[in-house]
Amino acid sequence: MAETASETFTLVITGAPYSSQAPQTALGFAQAAVTAGHRIDRVFLYGDGVHLASALSAPPSDETNWSEEWSRFLSEHSVPGVACIASALRRGLVNETEQKRYELPAANLRTPFEIAGLGEWVEGRIKSTRTLYFHAGD
Amino acid sequence: MATIQTLHILNKSPEHPRAARCLEMVSEEDGLLLTGGGVLFLATGHLSGPGKVFALSPDIDARGLGDFKGSNAELVDFARMVKLSLEANRVISW
Amino acid sequence: MSTLIMIDQAPYGAWTGREALDMAFSLAAFDQPASLFFTGAGVNWLRQNQEAGGIGQKSVEKNLSAAPIFGIEAILADRAACETYGLDENSLIEGVTLVDADAALLNDYDHTAFAG
């Protein structure tokens, strides 16, 4: 069986941390992909997955902080993390731009996540070798 | 090893309506990768359908299903999951 | 490079159906071939006369009727699921093609996705 050359992935996460395993399964996959020499084109948060981008999560110290783990992975490997704007605004995940636009009392998007539209997902679908989805299990 | 036509990734437990839908769509040339709650299918023994079955080890260990290891599924780690996703002609995440 | 977006959850109780529609419409907006497939309880998105104002939501009937204009190639529905929910040509919205949900259906698409 031939070794695969370096390939690219778009990972879509639709399950929220603590409501599902999606962020954990996705992170395990992402870390393995990078270790194997592949590139993650982007991580796209959709639906309830946008909660992963919250800067305000503070789980007990003996629980994994999934937002922090993902933030670290994205920064370490220079992988773009995008929260879908429609999903994010509905669920109250906003960056400073959206906070100003909607005159909201705070911004809560965790670095290095950005907010963008579904066009990012479409682009990943077209350009990446594979697009995988990590949904909630229940 | 024959190429996997479609790799179906199933994280839904046997109780979930989408699980049955997924299983109906797996054909002989396909692969079925059980992750999350999907590994519970190893405990029910209801995986008589076509296609090669794989199961993600950390999810099996988490749920205490060690006794069912090697029953009718090939155990994989994340590195192998990445390889499978590239070897298959396409991937469907259920 | 065509995509099948699948919807198997009932309308109005969850947003995944709407988010699936958004995915399909985005693909179409970028000239990517996309079709919708409704199965399970999801076929109820295709029922006529949805009036969701009383629960504070918008009906998706208009969006779905406009789907072909926006470039969605097909609206497919699982024949067996439609039967389960008593949906026939009199109660289904226009433009729906009934299909059997089997592996052959997926072979026409190189990418299949759910919104959640």
Report pLDDT digits (tens) over A17-64.
Answer: 999 999 999 999 999 999 999 999 999 999 999 999 999 999 999 999
Query: With an 8 Å Cβ cutoff, is C57 touching chain A?
Result: no
Architecture of the domain made up of C3-114? 3-Layer(aba) Sandwich (3.40)
Rounded CA gap, B82 and B86, in Å? 7
- Residue B47 is predicted with a pLDDT of 84
- Residue B70 is predicted with a pLDDT of 63
Q: What is the CA radius of gyration of chain A?
A: 15
* Sign of the alpha-carbon torsion through B34, B35, B38, B44: positive
Q: Which residue, chain included where needed, has tokens 């919807």?
A: C7
Closest Cα to residue C39, out of C88, C75, C71, C69?
A: C75
- For residue range A79-119, list pLDDT tens digits in order: 999 999 999 999 999 999 999 999 999 999 999 999 999 99
Whether A2 shows a pLDDT value over 50: the answer reads no
Q: Is A100 labeled as catalytic in the residue annotation?
A: no
- Residue A138 is predicted with a pLDDT of 83
Residues 72-111 of C with CB under 8 A from A: 111
Read off the tokens for A36: 């194997």
Closest Cα to residue B90, out of C89, A118, C107?
A: C107
- Residue A5 is predicted with a pLDDT of 72
**Contact between A131 and C110 (Cβ < 8 Å):** no
Instruction: Return the ∠ at Cα A15 (arms to C110 and C38), rounded to 5°.
Output: 45
Whether B86 sits inside 8 A of A137 (CB atoms) is: no
**Contact between A128 and A72 (Cβ < 8 Å):** no
- For residue range C21-30, list pLDDT tens digits in order: 999 999 999 9
- C3-7: strand order across its sheet: C96-99, C74-78, C34-38, C3-7, C111-114
**Contact between B27 and B51 (Cβ < 8 Å):** yes
- For residue range B7-27, list pLDDT tens digits in order: 999 999 999 999 999 999 999
Q: Which chains touch A (3 or more CB pairs under 8 A)?
A: B, C
H/E/C letters for each residue in A87-124? HHHHHCCCCHHHHHHHCCCCCCECCCCEEECCHHHHHH
Rounded CA gap, C24 and A47, in Å? 15
Whether A4 sits inside 8 A of B13 (CB atoms) is: no
Whether A3 shows a pLDDT value over 70: the answer reads no
Q: Which domains does chain B have, with CATH numbers?
A: 6-93 (3.40.1260.10)
| Amino acid letter, C107 | N
Query: With an 8 Å Cβ cutoff, is C16 touching chain A?
Result: yes
Q: What is the mean pLDDT of residues B51-56?
A: 96
pLDDT digits (tens), chain C, 116 positions: 899 999 999 999 999 999 999 999 999 999 999 999 999 999 999 999 999 999 999 998 888 988 999 999 999 999 999 999 999 999 999 999 999 999 999 999 999 999 99
Domain coordinates of chain C in residue numbers? Answer: 3-114
The catalytic position among A16, A30, A40, A84 is A84
Q: The whole model's pTM is what?
A: 0.97
Topology of domain A8-56+64-134, CATH: Hypothetical Protein Ychn; Chain: A, (3.40.1260)
pLDDT band at A69 (very low <50, low <70, confident <90, very high): very high
Q: What values do phi and psi take at B22, rounded to 5?
A: -65, -50
**Contact between A114 and B69 (Cβ < 8 Å):** no
pLDDT band at A4 (very low <50, low <70, confident <90, very high): low
**Hey, is B85 helix, strand or coil?**
helix
Strand partners, C10: none
